[in-house]
Amino acid sequence: MAYNLLKGKRGIIFGALDENSIAWKTAEQVHAEGGRFVLTNAPIAMRMGQINALAEKTGSEIVPADATSMEDLENLVDKATEILGGKLDFVLHSIGMSVNVRKGMKYTDQNYDWTHKGWDVSAVSFHKTMNVLYKKDAMNEWGSIVALTYMAAQRVFPDYNDMADNKAYLESIARSFGYFFGKDKKVRVNTISQSPTPTTAGQGVKGFDGFIAYAEKMSPLGNATALDCANYTVTLFSDLTKRVTLQNLYNDGGFSNMGVSNEVMESFMEKQ
């Protein structure tokens, strides 16, 4: 049931690759709640995905942009405010990529050119996006900017590789830039630390099925789905959370506060 939480609000959604992606689910839920938005992704990612179907379903326009390019981001923000008819109320940053993970490189044996590329796409692009929004004064007061992250930013998940470092940097950017956005523009900036989710990108991580199974056993409420994350994001875009900012918010069924669960202990006992 829709409550029109976002009626009259407009924004940009980065990263809707296909129907498995959190950004895709978020776009659907934002649309259901009355929000309007421009969809964007890198041209190469758009060729791999089905973003045109999402645009048709939600009555949205697509503006391709490489999130590591200031020129592309400036064009994106200009086009989005033109298409939507004014300043923005929300932005979702849901992009991340590690060439080292894709190529099977170990964390202890990285190709540093690939490391830099992944860092730029996954983390610095968030700073660049907010830089453009800030300088163009493109956000309405009490607007909301959200980026997606993962708990590997705080704890060791060996096969998450350099993406863990990228997420830690992303979260720091949210706090640091969020201070200035809050003081100067009255705009909120938060990150959502989501359960391991079987997105197209997530499934590229070695042992990802094991990640999901372990987190499911550890979490009192079970893993949060992509739809759960989309709904949580909607609340952060809404006026119900006007003074929530600089936070890394866990949407993980309780996993982040667990030491061990009975289910995990039982699985070890069975092996003895």
Q: What is the per-residue pLDDT across 146-178, written as a single tens digit (0 to 9) for each?
A: 999 999 999 999 989 999 999 999 999 999 999
Sheet hosting strand 61-62, strand order edge to edge:
61-62, 36-40, 10-14, 88-93, 139-149, 188-194, 248-251
Mean pLDDT of the chain: 94
The model's pLDDT over 38-72, given as tens digits with 9 standing for 90+, comes to 999 998 877 766 999 999 999 999 999 999 999 99
Confidence of residue 20 (pLDDT cuts 50, 70, 90): very high
Of 13, 14, 12, 17, the C-alpha closest to 199 is 17
Asked if pLDDT for residue 224 goes beyond 90, the answer is yes
Measured between alpha carbons, how far is residue 82 from residues 1, 85, 87, 140, 269 in Å? 31, 5, 9, 14, 61
Distance CA 157, CA 59 (A): 39
74-78, 179-183, 233-237, 267-271: which has the minimum mean pLDDT?
Answer: 267-271
Residue 250 tokens read as 């866990």
- The larger pLDDT score, comparing residue 126 to residue 45, is at 126
Q: Are 118 and 165 in contact (CB under 8 A)?
A: no
Q: pLDDT grade, residue 81 (50/70/90)?
A: very high
User: What would the mean pLDDT of 64-81 be, rounded to a whole number?
Assistant: 98
Tell me how far CA of residue 128 lies from CA of 27, 35, 133, in angstroms.
22, 24, 9
Q: Is residue 236 over pLDDT 70?
A: yes
Buried b (16+ CB within 10 A) or exposed e, 33-47: bebbbbbbbbeebbe
Going by C-alpha positions, the residue among 72, 34, 38 that lies closest to residue 54 is: 38
Instruction: Determine the pLDDT at residue 204.
Output: 59
Residue with tokens 């990263």: 15
Distance CA 23, CA 162 (A): 22
Residue-level pLDDT at 59: 97
Region 75-79: mean pLDDT is 98
Q: What is the DSSP letter of 65?
A: -
Residue type, 230: A
SS3 197: coil
Which of 252, 142, 156 is closest to 188 using CA atoms? 142
3 state DSSP class of 245: coil
pTM score, whole prediction: 0.95
Looking at residue 170, its pLDDT comes to: 98
| pLDDT in the model for residue 210 | 84
Percent of the chain with pLDDT over 90: 86
